[in-house]
Each structure stands twice: as C-alpha cells, then as structure tokens.
Amino acid sequence: MDLPQGYSSRPPAPDDADAVAGLMAACVRADGGAEGTSVEHVLDDWHEVDLGDEAVLVLGPDGAVAGYADVVNRAFVSLSVYGYVHPGRRGRGVGAWLVRWGENWMEERMHLAPDGSRVAVRQYVISTNTGARRLLENSGYEAVRATYVMEVDLDDEPPEPELPEGMTVSAFVPGRDERRLFEAVEDAFRDVWGRPGGTFERFVRMTEGENFDPSLWLLAMDGGEIAGMILCKAVAGEGWVDVVGVRRPWRRRGLGLALLRRAFGEYRRRGVRRVELSVDAGSVTGAPRLYGRAGMRLKTAYVVYQKELRSGEDFPVG
C-alpha cells in the first residue's frame, strides 16, 4: 500500500522529537483526551525504541509531520503498535498506511517467532477516535481489550503506607539488583493478559535512560525475597509509574497499596504534584480498583484492537 501522492516516510531522528510531541498533542486534543505530551516525554519513550527500525515518520507534501508510529515487540509473537495521524491529515490514507506498516514489520520478522506460536498485532487507539476504530475494524482487527491511563494529584500528603508485618522497603541498587528484580517482575506479571515473557536485556535498558533514578525503584522485601516492586520515574516534572507488581504468595495483604502510597509520598517530597500510570482495564488482579483506592482516577481510555497474523499456540508467559 502506497502513501497518498506527495507524502513520504522515513525513520525519525532525535531532532524530530518536538514535531512528534506536537503531533501527539494535536491528536489528543482532537480526540478529547487530556494534555500531557511534551518533548521530554517523547525523548524518554524513544530511549527504549530503535528509531531506525521500530519507528516511522510520515511527512506531508509541505514537509510537515503528518503521522507517526512506533512498535513494541515481544518475542516476535506480540507486536504493539502506537500510531498517530495529525487531525488535519486524517481521511487521506495515512492511517491505513501506518496500520499496514505495523503488519509488514511483524510479517517480515515472523520467522523469528517460536515454532508453532500464535503471532498477533495489537493497535492501541484512544476510545473516542471513532475514525481510527472504524479503520481497524474494516482492516480485520477485533476489539479485545481496554487500557486506562490513570492519574492522581498530590496536592495533599498521601496516607502513610502500612506494610504487611515483617516486610521492609528498600531502593534498587544498580549493579546488584538487576537480575533478581527482573525475575521478580516476570513472576509478578506472568498472569497478565497477552504478555509473553520479557528479556533481561530489555529490562536493563530501563536502567540506562536519562530519567532513571534508582531511588524511585522501590522493592518490598520479605527477608531475602522480593515480594513486590514499584518502579517509577519523573519526566518533565510529572511522575510516571512503569511497574507496580506483587508476586502471588504476597497478594491480598495490602502490599500494592502500601507501595503506591510510599511512592506517592516520595514524589510529593520532591515537589512532583501529578503521577500517572497505565493499566489493563481487565486486570485479573483488579489493579484499576487498587489504583482507585490509592486516589487515582481515569484520565484516558484506550481500546486494544488485535489481528492474528499466524495461528498457533500462545507463547508461554513469564
């Protein structure tokens, strides 16, 4: 499938971050979402993206950014695509081209997936973007899930965390905790919907970004075991929680809530007054309810559309 006449595509470069942030902000405004995209957010996201291979920029005839997409690949069996088309360029075929770009990306690498495994592409669309949803449905995608971005304002001091008896919280120590924390995260998330196991190399990349702060990676310890974790960062003066997890033997004891309150208190001491995170709306552990108890509210809802490219067995999780 070709782009509209006069349009072109290329990989983005770091110098494009400002234009991409503007594109994302324009899309969110047009679709009724909340503000929040900045150059700092884009550059932070790009730390974990191979711009030459995992992202694409679409330029209009005037050279302005018309569209953008990047992908998150998990074991070559699950590809998440995040695409944006400028509101002033919609209805011209740019969105359809980006959808196909994501599918082509996976099809070209499908031979790297484990034998006999199912291969699927997922597209994430803000729930109010009816045009994008219709495009995906007409392209063979099915709405299978929803995700929420939730937020909390820290104008007031959060309640003191109440850890389960015998547990302590300590900060991540670089050079010591990488492997055992990776294994604990994988264990905590092994029952998350549609999540093949991660790789240690990808996990370590999280510790190499400009916004990584080990004092915001908090580990809940039960003796020598990591029972739970909350992995946070601050970007452009706002907090973002990358990971909140509690391993199965320690669930339903208030540990997740205690970790959230501990992190919120730390953010507030640093002058951060807003914190956000993303969560699977259908979480089997009831994560959205937990976050609501911690004072968080819904900011933006997204619909996850999925298309199977190859049938097979689900790749083992965790």
pLDDT tens digit string along 185-222? 999 998 776 677 788 998 999 999 889 999 999 999 99
Whole-angstrom Cα distance, residue 305 to residue 107?
Answer: 17
Mean pLDDT (the chain) is 94
pLDDT digits (tens, 9 = 90+) for 283-306: 878 899 999 999 999 999 999 999
Q: What is the pLDDT of residues 107-165, one digit of tens each?
A: 999 999 999 999 999 999 999 999 999 999 999 999 999 999 999 999 999 999 999 99
Contacts (Cβ under 8 Å, ≥6 apart) of 160: 261, 265
Q: Which is the CATH superfamily of the domain at 8-140?
A: Gcn5-related N-acetyltransferase (GNAT) (3.40.630.30)
C-beta separation of 46 from 17 below 8 A: yes
How do the domains of the chain map onto residue ranges?
Answer: 8-140, 151-301
Domains 8-140 and 151-301 in one fold: yes
In this structure, which CATH number among 3.40.630.30, 3.10.20.340, 3.30.420.10, 3.10.580.10 belongs to the domain 151-301?
A: 3.40.630.30
Amino acid in the structure at residue 56:
V
Smallest CA-to-CA distance from 13 within 68, 52, 64 is with: 52
Of 266, 276, 69, 298, the C-alpha closest to 170 is 266
List all residues 6 or more positions away from 10 whose beta carbon is below 8 Å from its beta carbon: 56, 57, 59
Sign of the dihedral defined by the CA atoms of residues 181, 187, 188, 192, in that order: positive
Determine if residue 22 is left, alpha or beta; phi over 0 gives left, psi from -120 to 50 gives alpha, anything else beta: alpha
Name the pLDDT band for 318 (thresholds 50, 70, 90). very low
pTM for the full model? Answer: 0.91
